[in-house]
Amino acid sequence: MTDSLKDAATDLFNQFELEDKSIEKLMALEAISGSPKTKPVIMMWASRMAAILVIAVMATVFGVDQFNDYKKQNIIRLIVAEVVKNHSNLKPLEVTSDKLVSVSSYFDGLSFSPYSSKFESVASVLNTSLIGGRYCSIQGNTAAQLRMQSSEGVYSTLFQTNETNLFSDIPAMTDQNTIKEFKDGFEVQIWREKGLLMVYVKPASSL
């Protein structure tokens, strides 16, 4: 795939989102149903629809194989761009608690229960600074977003989603090592652990 096609693919992937008005219309359904979990279900649906539309456009332009190859070859860059954007635009929490077991129990729409990592620095932040979580997605895969806030008011985010073939080239965590990238003033660490993709975002200047 040429550089111009790659640039076009990146632009489509980063810019193709549901308009705010459309999301607001979906959110209005929450008032009709009266269910406290309608909002995350709607957001998951909206996220999946956006991902499906992006895939359909890309597959039409470049072909399914080329599109999948492009994503896999550029998966780190795509993940970093996506999580930094999410972390930079913090949306309201859907569940609030400083207890991981309470936050994890909220995510009954996932096939896994979010858990603390064996990565020591991340586990420490989860144990001391967790404030809640919300549903989100990573490259079209439904994910849990766990949010932490330090005593100084600094936010960090741990994303967790199921492993898929798309993430198979990302190394599993060994000896406390992770892939580390920097973007827009944030440090992003990426690794696989116990069947999950883990992505941790914090300000690059934080300790």
pLDDT of 58-106, one tens digit each? Answer: 666 656 666 666 677 799 999 999 999 999 999 999 999 999 999 999 9
- Choose the weakest-confidence range: 13-27, 76-90, 94-108, 121-135: 13-27
* Residue 112, pLDDT above cutoff 80: yes
Please list, in sequence order, all residues whose beta carbon lies within 8 angstroms of the beta carbon of residue 103, skipping any fewer than 6 positions away.
95, 97, 114, 130, 132, 133, 146
Helix (H, G, I), strand (E, B) or coil at 127: helix
Q: What per-residue string of b and e applies to 155-181 under the rule 16 or more CB within 10 Å gives b? A: bbbbbbbebeebbeebeebeeeebbeb
Average pLDDT, the chain: 81
Please tell me the total number of residues recorded for the chain in this structure.
207
The count of other CB atoms within 10 Å of the CB of residue 52 is 11
Give pLDDT, residue 171.
86
CB-facing half-sphere around the CA of 142: CA atoms within 13 A: 19
Q: What pLDDT does 144 receive? A: 98
Specify the pLDDT at position 185.
95
The residue-averaged pLDDT of 135-158 equals 96
Coil, strand, or helix at residue 62? helix
Separation CA 205–CA 187 (nearest Å)? 8
Contact 168, 151 (CB under 8 A): no
Q: What is the rounded average pLDDT of the residues 33-61?
A: 63
Q: Quick check: pTM over 0.95?
A: no
Q: Which has more pLDDT, 19 or 55?
A: 55
What is the predicted pLDDT for the residue at 63?
A: 64
- Average pLDDT score over residue span 46-65: 66
CA 67, CA 71: separation in Å to the nearest integer? 6
Banded pLDDT at 42 (limits 50, 70, 90): low
Structure token digits, residue 180: 């580390």
Instruction: Give the closest residue to 179 by CA, choosing from 169, 168, 167, 191.
Output: 191
Across 23-27, average pLDDT:
51
Q: What sign results for the dihedral spanned by CA atoms 182, 183, 187, 189? A: negative
